[in-house]
Amino acid sequence: MERKTIDLEQCWDYMQKGITKLMKILRERHDEFMLRELEERWITHKVMVRWLSRFFHYLDQYFIAGRYLPPLNAVGLTCFRHLVYMEVRDNARKAVITRIDKEREGEQIDRSLLKNVVDIFVEMDQYEEDFEVQMLEDTANYYKSKATNWIEVESCPDYMLKAEDCLRRERERVTHYLHFSTEQKLVEKVQHELLVTHANQLLDGVRALLRDDKVEDLSRMYRLYQKIPKGLDPVANVFKQHVTAEGTALVQQAEEASSLVRKFIELHDKYMTYVNDCFINHTLFHKALKEAFEVFCNKNAAATFCDNILKKGGSDEAIEETLDKVVKLLAYISDKDLYAEFYRKKLARRLLFDRSANEDHEKCILTKLKQQCGGQFTSKMEGMVMDLTLARDNQMKFEEYLRDNTHGIDLTVTVLTTGFWPSYKSSDLNLPVEMLKCVEVFKEFYETKTKHRKLTWIHSLGTCHIIGKFEPKTIELVVSTYQAAALLLFNSAHKLSYSEIMMQLNLTHEDVILSKEPNTTTISPNDTFEFNYKFTDKMRRIKIPLPPVDERKKVIEDVDKDRRYAIDAAIVRIMKSRKVLGHQQLVLECVQQLGCMFKPDIKAIKKRIEDLITRDYLERDKENPNTFNYLA
């Protein structure tokens, strides 16, 4: 075959002509056709350049390189760039973006076409400037208008479905025909337009979702907003408000305490599941739940609830679980010491009147409380439980003693260590003869066991079984010691006036509690009481209840007093170690130290500081009245 030598110049000419022709074609075509043409020409061009550089490889390698001139394929690129790309880029871009928008609207488009065209931009190294910027702006506009439309028309769940869908598609788009670096920016734009701009309206929707328990939609909401910085804060806030509202509603409808607490537990469980499932255990939501519960958790209710559970029976596991949950609720109560006091009082009653269902349960809950709140919280109560175990042993020995000494009495005594138990009023009841004997006997017995201990009898807590010989039939009455004493008086007299009773028993007004002696409902000093021979009941044995005593006020008073001491102690402790401290710092540290038991009131702290100044523990600094000095 003839070798045809081709002039370099001629080659150049050919190339020029080819390109000019190309340009002409491109100018005439539009949109998709233009793109196709462009694509085809570009591919062809690349092939041509490749072949050319193979043809001229020798020159390329030895001639051009030596002269620091660009190699042939570089030139080829540059040519294309200057002669074609610069001219067509705007139109190409517009065309591509139009295609993209069409695809967004649901039309099928030729993705590989777009990919190739986009590649041109990439290879021209102009991807970002010439293509991406515009594309992103267009995307933003597109979604802005969509969002404005949807937010009016769609419900919140549907809107979010659409949003999620859009995001998914955009990501897909990137993998198919855009440069991977675009993904992040693109997604941000879409999120911004769809989720951030209309966040407020969507949040209203969240409220509805929470109300209607739409778990799926809530999960979606979480997924969507999680990617947005600070996106979850308002959602968590709405969540908190919702839970708080529900809890407060429960409190207001409050029936009795135990059902209230059960409802709290249910509420807590329900929303904890939400936190775990929908909100994937995110700390923000844990915090929201916690803060919500702190607002409405009621301390007295919690103590009463524990009381109820431990009183009755029930299967072991159920109880243990419920106890667990109640103790968790405790974390939300800020005045733990108040709760502790109530609990202690009720525990005392349970233990003393043997109403506790199960000692193991009592121990179990104490262990849990200890874990939650520290040893200080439970030390007294543990002492109480121990006392009871000791008391039982003691009682057995006493019964032995009784048998050995044949006194013919039936007496059970529980000896308590004063420090552990709540303080009870002891009074000088004039015991009837029969009871006096019992007391004496026990005293003797106790002396044999331990010396140097003082026994104080708390009759207000005692119970007595009395056999009442009524005319119809004999009935056994279970009464308190005071009631028994009153009744026994009637052994010697048929009728007694109130003041006589009081005198005989040596009691004050508050102590005398009348059982439901027939014919009396209220009491006045001149009322007389008569033993009703005809009293009867179908039961053989009746328990006569004591009128209920409201301990709440007393407990609150006690706790307040304890708190004052606690604050004093904390202030002195802090000042002793720091010697000099500013007021704000002091208050802060005080609150911190006492936080595990209760939340001290700033004013209360101030008052205690004043008191300590008067007592010369502290002084206000002369130079700086906002600072205090410790006085040794």
Partner 1 sequence: MPRPKRKAAVPTRSSDADSSARPEPKKPRGNQFNRIDQLFESYVNKTLGLIDPEGIEALCNDVNVNHTDVRMLIFAWKMKAEKQGYFSKDEWRRGLKCLGADTRPKLKKAIEGLDKELKVPECFEDFYSYAFQYCLTEEKQRSVDIETICELLNIVLKSEFPNQVNLLVEYLKVQNDYRALNMDQWRSFYRFFKEVDFHDLENYDSSQAWTVIIDNFVEWLKEKEKN
The span from the CA of 559 to the CA of 626, in Å, is 30
> Which C-beta is closer to partner 1: that of 286 or that of 620?
620
Among the candidate windows 8-16, 185-193, 490-498, 613-621, which touches partner 1 by CB under 8 A?
613-621
* Residue choice 544, 583, 591, 593 for contact with partner 1 (CB under 8 A): 583
614 part of the interface to partner 1, by CB under 8 A: yes
- Compute CA distances 504 → 480, 488, 577, 581, whole Å: 17, 11, 59, 61
The one segment of 131-139, 187-195, 350-358, 598-606 that binds partner 1 by CB under 8 A: 598-606
Taking the C-alpha atoms of residue 90 and residue 567, their distance in angstroms, rounded to an integer, is 76
Residue 449: C-alpha distances to residues 31, 418, 442 (Å): 109, 18, 11
Nearer to partner 1, 192 or 583 (CB): 583
In the complex, the smallest distance separating the C-beta of residue 602 from partner 1, rounded to whole angstroms, is 7
Smallest gap from residue 620 Cβ to partner 1 (A): 6
Residue 288 or residue 605: which is nearer to partner 1 going by CB?
605
Q: Which stretch binds partner 1 (CB under 8 A): 162-170, 191-199, 462-470, 583-591?
A: 583-591
- Looking only at the bridges linking them, the beta strands covering 580-582 and 627-630 are antiparallel
Q: How many CA atoms lie within 13 A of 214 on its CB side?
A: 17
Nearer to partner 1, 443 or 607 (CB): 607
Q: Work out whether 613 is an interface residue with partner 1 (CB under 8 A).
A: yes
Radius of gyration of the chain (CA): 44
As measured in angstroms, the least distance from the Cβ of 627 to partner 1 is: 8
Q: Judged by CB under 8 A, which of 98, 197, 528, 627 binds partner 1?
A: 627
State the Cα angle at 605 between 603 and 608, rounded to 5°: 110
Min separation Cβ 592 and partner 1, Å: 16
**602 near partner 1 (CB under 8 A):** yes
Could you tell me how many residues of this chain bind partner 1 (CB under 8 A)?
A: 20
DSSP H or E stretch at residue 400:
helix 375-405
The strand pairing partners of 475, in sequence order, are: 468
Instruction: Candidates 183-191, 429-437, 559-567, 610-618: pick the segment binding partner 1 (CB under 8 A).
Output: 610-618
- Name which of 92 and 609 has its Cβ closer to partner 1: 609
* Residue nearer to partner 1 on the CB measure, 460 or 627: 627
We find the least distance from the C-beta atom of residue 625 to partner 1, in angstroms, to be 6
Work out which of 448, 509, 625, 632 binds partner 1, going by CB under 8 A: 625
Instruction: Answer yes or no whether residue 198 interacts with partner 1 by CB under 8 A.
Output: no
Q: Which of 376, 577, 584, 592 binds partner 1 (CB under 8 A)?
A: 584
For residues 381 and 303, is the Cβ–Cβ distance under 8 A? no
| Alpha carbon of residue 388 to chain centroid | 37
Range 540-579, binding partner 1 (CB under 8 A): none
Looking at 98-106, 159-167, 372-380, 604-612, which segment touches partner 1 (CB under 8 A)? Answer: 604-612
How far apart, in whole angstroms, are the C-alpha atoms of residue 467 and residue 486? Answer: 14
Nearer to partner 1, 598 or 628 (CB): 628
Q: Rule CB under 8 A: say whether 592 interacts with partner 1.
A: no
CB of 615 to partner 1, least distance (A): 8
Under the criterion CB under 8 A, does residue 619 sit at the interface with partner 1?
yes
- Candidate ranges 76-84, 329-337, 450-458, 615-623; the one touching partner 1 (CB under 8 A): 615-623
Q: Does 607 bind partner 1 (CB under 8 A)?
A: yes
User: Interface with partner 1 by CB under 8 A: which range of 11-19, 305-313, 438-446, 619-627?
Assistant: 619-627
**Residue of 76, 606, 630, 632 interacting with partner 1 (CB under 8 A):** 606
How many angstroms separate the Cα of 300 from the Cα of each of 61, 250, 336, 423?
93, 15, 10, 19
Q: Pick from 9, 255, 393, 616: which binds partner 1 (CB under 8 A)?
A: 616
Indicate whether 620 belongs to the interface with partner 1 (CB under 8 A): yes
Cα distances (Å, whole numbers) of residue 304 to 54, 252, 265, 339, 354: 94, 17, 14, 10, 17
- Residue 626 CB, nearest distance to partner 1 (Å)? 4
For partner 1, the closer CB: 75 or 586 = 586
Closer CB to partner 1, 498 or 628, in the complex: 628
Q: Which is nearer to partner 1, 183 or 611 (CB)?
A: 611
Measured CA to CA in angstroms, residue 533 lies from 127, 367, 468, 474, 491 at distances of 109, 52, 9, 10, 12
Residue with Cβ nearer partner 1 (75 or 609): 609
User: Quick one: tokens of 411?
Assistant: 């007496």
Among 587, 590, 594, 597, binds partner 1 (CB under 8 A): 587
Closest CA to 41 of 95, 71, 84: 84
Write out the two tokens for 10.
Answer: 């001629």
Question: What is the Cα–Cα distance from 466 to 517, expressed in whole angstroms?
Answer: 14
Alpha-carbon distance of 451 to 448, in angstroms, equals: 7
Q: Establish if 597 lies at the interface with partner 1 (CB under 8 A).
A: no
Q: What are the start-end ranges of the E strands in 124-257? A: none
Rounded to whole angstroms, the Cα distance separating 393 from 230 reads 63
Q: CA nearest 100: which of 126, 130, 150, 135?
A: 135
Compute the half-sphere exposure of residue 470: CA atoms within 13 Å on the CB side of its CA: 21
User: Smallest gap, in angstroms, from Cβ of residue 588 to partner 1?
Assistant: 10
Whether 579 contacts 629, CB under 8 Å: yes
CA–CA distance from 262 to each of 74, 266, 302, 305, 368 (Å)? 79, 6, 9, 8, 18
Give the C-alpha separation, 195 to 201, whole Å: 10
Q: Which residues bind partner 1 (CB under 8 A)?
A: 582-584, 587, 602-603, 606-607, 610, 613-614, 616, 619-620, 622, 625-628, 631
